[in-house]
Amino acid sequence: MEISSIAVDESVSTVFPPEQLRDALVDIVDVMIIDAGVDSLEPYDAVVTMAYHDSYLEGVYWIHSIQAGVDRFPFDELREHEVILTNSSGIHGSAVGETVAGYMLSFARRLLPAVKSQTQREWSPPTWDDAYTLADERCCIVGLGTLGRGIVKQASALGLDVIGVRRSGESLNGVRTVYTPDDLHTAIRESKFVVLAVPLVDETHHLMSTEEFAAMRDDAILINVARGPVVDQDALVDALEAGIIGGAALDVFEAEPLPKDSPLWDFEEVLITPHCAGFTEDYYRNVADLVRENLVHIDAGEELINKIV
Residues noted as catalytic: 227, 256, 275
Nearer to ligand NAD (CB atom), residue 147 or residue 244: 147
Nearer to ligand NAD (CB atom), residue 41 or residue 250: 250
Nearest to 96 by CA among 225, 229, 270, 234: 225
Phi and psi at 209, nearest 5°, equal -140, -165
CB of 143 to ligand NAD, least distance (A): 4
Pairwise CA distance, residues 33 & 47, whole Å: 10
Pairwise CA distance, residues 247 & 262, whole Å: 16
Specify the DSSP element, H or E, that contains 210. Answer: helix 210-215
Residue nearest to ligand NAD (CB): 145
CB of 174 to ligand NAD, least distance (A): 15
CA angle 38–40–43, rounded 5-degree value: 150
Q: Which residues lie closer than 8 Å to 155 by C-beta, 6 or more apart? A: 97, 100, 101, 104, 139, 141, 162
Nearer to ligand NAD (CB atom), residue 46 or residue 226: 226
Pairwise CA distance, residues 10 & 169, whole Å: 40
CB of 89 to ligand NAD, least distance (A): 4
Residues near ligand NAD (CB under 6 A): 68-69, 89, 92, 96, 142-148, 165-167, 181, 197-200, 203-204, 225-227, 251-252, 275, 277-278
Nearer to ligand NAD (CB atom), residue 41 or residue 248: 248
Q: Give yes or no for a contact between 137 and 192, defined as CB atoms under 8 angstroms apart.
A: yes
CB of 155 to ligand NAD, least distance (A): 15
